[in-house]
């Protein structure tokens, strides 16, 4: 199956590097920025003058554009009979998500939303340990994700387009909390803003009785991206922080050779989780196997992010009734 990429920004570049692990699978690209021709040449891709031209060339569409355009690109791809891989969040509203889900259902196409945290080895290992009963029943989760603010002029700084910290950053941890501790009953959140930096603290009360404490923000110095997890269960604790020294170091890995724009990304090991999620989706589509994260999981993560937004606006806990 041939893959076509939509979008040539930071995430488009990141995905193109992941697809390059199997040369020839990623075959075409469509982008609206001035850098699109240079991007196509750099990765050896067919540059498409329109989205319709891209859809004619490929079997799978990988959407890496700004969030407001995700749903429309995904719906058009589904109606063209193409499978879809889409960066998170799938949309900014549940109504838009449902429009994409209905298009995929009606056309029999597959939809994978790239919630990459499930493919980071530390988070995947923690989930596997919980599933194996290593710490008993999870009771308290502490999850943190803090990066430098997006670069000046980035579309991410327009929260009406990106959803801000709740939908663009901590949605990773909201999805992970639900993956570990199950569905959520209510959400309460507060934020702090100063000099262009923002931190959000959210408390999730899970139906099973666990509590998740999620904090994240665009508040770190330039070049800094820190994450951590702490899962306390009835018989033990799992913890990890990106500040811890790695047990194995590699040196001399080739650089991307590209230009970084917009938001920052966490440091990646030789086992690239972005490549892992893409090839997982590709192989699952090809073999008709389930995804590690299904579309309804992505919808639930967005619902949590929207609940965080509503709680920030009202100053009150928000029940999860969607």
What architecture is the 120-244+257-266+293-319 domain classified under in CATH? 2-Layer Sandwich (3.30)
User: What's the token pair of residue 75?
Assistant: 């719906």
| Cβ-based burial of 316 (10 A; exposed 0-12, middle 13-18, buried ≥19) | exposed
pTM: 0.91
Q: Strand 184-194 vs strand 111-114: parallel, antiparallel, or unpaired?
A: unpaired
Fold held by 3-114? Rossmann fold (3.40.50)
Contact indicator for 64, 15 with CB cutoff of 8 Å: yes
Domain ranges of the chain: 3-114, 120-244+257-266+293-319
For residue 202, the cross-strand partners are 189, 214
Spatial strand order of the sheet with 46-47 comes to 46-47, 26-30, 3-6, 60-63, 83-87, 111-114
Give dist(CA 198, CA 237) in Å, integer: 29
The closest of 183, 187, 232 to 208, measured between CA atoms, is 183
The closest of 99, 113, 166, 102 to 303, measured between CA atoms, is 166
CB atoms within 10 A of CB 161: 16
> How far, in Å, are 75, 124, 171, 279, 286 from residue 121 at the CA level?
32, 5, 18, 15, 24
Q: Strand 83-87 vs strand 211-218: parallel, antiparallel, or unpaired?
A: unpaired
C-alpha angle 159-226-224 in degrees, rounded to nearest 5: 75
Residuewise pLDDT in 10s, the chain (322 residues): 999 999 999 999 999 999 999 999 999 999 998 889 999 999 999 999 999 999 999 999 999 999 999 999 999 999 999 999 999 999 999 999 999 999 999 999 999 999 999 999 999 999 999 999 999 999 999 999 999 999 999 999 999 999 999 999 999 999 999 999 999 999 999 999 999 999 999 999 999 999 999 999 999 999 899 999 999 999 999 999 998 876 655 445 444 444 334 554 555 555 799 999 999 999 999 999 999 999 999 999 999 999 999 999 999 999 998 5
């Amino acid at each position: 199956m041939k893959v076509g990429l939509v979008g040539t920004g930071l995430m488009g570049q990141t995905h193109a590097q992941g697809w390059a692990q199997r040369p020839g699978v990623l075959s075409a690209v469509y982008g609206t920025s001035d850098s699109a021709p240079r991007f196509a040449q750099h990765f050896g891709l067919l540059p498409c003058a329109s989205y319709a031209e891209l859809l004619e060339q490929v079997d799978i569409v990988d959407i890496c554009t700004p969030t407001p355009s995700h749903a429309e690109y995904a719906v058009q791809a589904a109606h063209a009979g193409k499978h879809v891989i889409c960066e998170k969040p799938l949309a900014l509203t549940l109504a838009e998500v449902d429009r994409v889900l209905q298009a995929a259902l009606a056309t029999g196409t597959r939809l994978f939303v790239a919630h990459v945290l499930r493919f980071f080895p530390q988070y995947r290992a923690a989930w596997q340990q919980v599933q194996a009963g290593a710490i008993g029943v999870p009771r308290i989760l502490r999850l943190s994700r803090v990066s430098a603010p997006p670069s000046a002029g980035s579309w991410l700084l327009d929260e009406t387009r990106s959803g801000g910290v709740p939908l663009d950053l901590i949605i990773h941890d909201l999805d992970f909390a639900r993956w570990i501790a199950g569905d959520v009953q209510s959400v309460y959140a507060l934020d702090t803003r100063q000099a262009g930096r923002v931190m959000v603290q959210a408390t999730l009360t899970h139906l099973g009785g666990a509590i998740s404490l999620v904090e994240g923000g665009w508040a770190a110095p330039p070049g800094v991206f820190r994450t951590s997890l702490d899962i306390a269960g009835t018989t033990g604790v799992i913890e990890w922080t990106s500040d811890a020294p790695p047990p194995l170091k590699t040196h001399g890995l080739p650089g991307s050779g590209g230009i970084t724009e917009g938001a920052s990304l966490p440091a990646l090991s030789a086992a690239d989780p972005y490549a892992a999620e893409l090839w997982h989706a590709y192989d699952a589509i090809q073999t008709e196997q389930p995804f590690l994260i299904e579309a309804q999981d992505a919808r639930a993560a967005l619902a949590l992010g929207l609940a965080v937004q509503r709680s920030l606006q009202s100053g009150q806990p928000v029940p999860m009734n969607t």
